[in-house]
Amino acid sequence: MKDVLTAPFMVEMIRTATNMYAHGWDERNGGNISLMLEENEVREYLDPEKALRTIPTGFAAPELEGKYFLVTGTGKYFKNVQYAPEVNLGIVRLKDRGQQADLLWGYADGGQFTSEFPAHMMSHAARLKVNPENRVVMHCHPANLLAMTYVHDLDEKQFTRTLWQMCTECIVVFPEGVNVLPWMLCGTNEIGEATAEKMKTARLVVWSQHGIYGAGKDLDETFGLIETAEKAAEIYMKIAHLPRVNTITDDQMHLLEKRFGVKAREGWLD
Ligand code: 13P
Ligand code: ZN
């Protein structure tokens, strides 16, 4: 068996967590990532029949039974992932209709997966129905998106339109827009279900006064989605208190749709 620390998925996960920390999106233990793995890639490094222990999930996700995930640990600092991956990350396989997870590697100090495991797994299930290629769910606390939820209308059409207006490429990167949840208690099945519901129509879901969820086919795409939305929110926070003299008009957005072959969320442009 090869050393799992050399696996491309592991190297990419560690780089991504490190980069997210460097962007200031993951203070302390803030944020979490889950990456779905293929059985054949796991088998190169681990024996799936050798579970270290079994962890109850507290919810059911029958569509994910038998699926493998590399997931950040609860209470673990993104800052430390690169120095001690085996303590801060774990590889699990769901069983019993998703109600339990066999730990195959990691959480070496006796820890377990993120407290946001329900939101991650329910979002994976929702996104896989929209796009069978989806592999990543990522949560973090980027300052400008968070700040925006204190001063901007939380209506998702209005919130999205503001983001689209802040950088020309926003509508190209997330034409479906962002969905927005009101403040809810984190780490619960309820916020997991609400997030998954929102994931049916967009890959970005803002958690008001908390952070953002992104989903995508790989770590790069998902990171890029959050990065683009956060850049737009940063520009908004720089200009929100100033008179708006110019903007990107809806006519210009339609030109972008044509040029880049994307379609904005139905009814969200005039
Ligand atoms: P965990 O440490 O359990 O991953 O929680 C961090 C977080 O961001 C909660 O929303
Ligand atoms: Zn959080």
Cβ 206 vs Cβ 216: under 8 Å: no
- Which ligand ends up closest to the CA of 33? 1
Atom index in ligand 1 nearest the CA of residue 73 equals: 4
Q: In a mutational test of the pocket of ligand 1, which residue from 186, 191, 206, 212 has the highest number of ligand atoms less than 8 Å from its CB?
A: 186
Rounded distance from Cα 165 to ligand 1 centre (Å): 31
| CB within 8 Å of 25: residues ≥ 6 apart | 31, 140, 141, 142, 226, 230
For domain 1-114, say whether CATH 3.40.30.10 is its number. Answer: no
Q: Give the pLDDT score at 88.
A: 99
Rounded distance from Cα 32 to ligand 1 centre (Å): 6
Q: Give the pLDDT score at 173.
A: 98
88 lines ligand 1 (CB under 6 A): no
Neighbours of 117 (CB within 10 A): 25
Q: Give the pLDDT score at 20.
A: 99
Q: Give the pLDDT score at 50.
A: 97
114 lines ligand 1 (CB under 6 A): yes
Give SS3 for 15: helix
Residues of the chain with pLDDT under 50: none
Going from N- to C-terminal start, the domains of the chain cover 1-114, 116-270
75 lines ligand 1 (CB under 6 A): yes
Cβ 121 vs Cβ 98: under 8 Å: yes
Helix axes 143-151, 219-239, angle to 10 degrees: 50
99 lines ligand 1 (CB under 6 A): no
Catalytic pick among 86, 116, 176, 197: 116
Backbone angles phi, psi at 124, to 5 degrees: -55, -50
Query: What token pair was written down for 196?
Result: 């998954």
Q: Give the pLDDT score at 84.
A: 98
Is pTM, for the whole model, over 0.95? yes
112 lines ligand 1 (CB under 6 A): no
What is the strand order of the sheet 68-72 is part of? 53-56, 100-106, 89-95, 68-72, 32-37, 136-140, 211-216, 204-207, 178-181
Cβ 173 vs Cβ 257: under 8 Å: no
Q: Does an H or E element contain 189, and which?
A: helix 189-199
Amino acid at the residue 121: M
Rounded distance from Cα 218 to ligand 2 centre (Å): 20
Whether 1-114 shares its CATH topology with 116-270 is answered: yes
Task: Please give the class, per CATH, of domain 116-270.
Answer: alpha beta
Is residue 116 annotated as part of the catalytic site, yes or no? Answer: yes
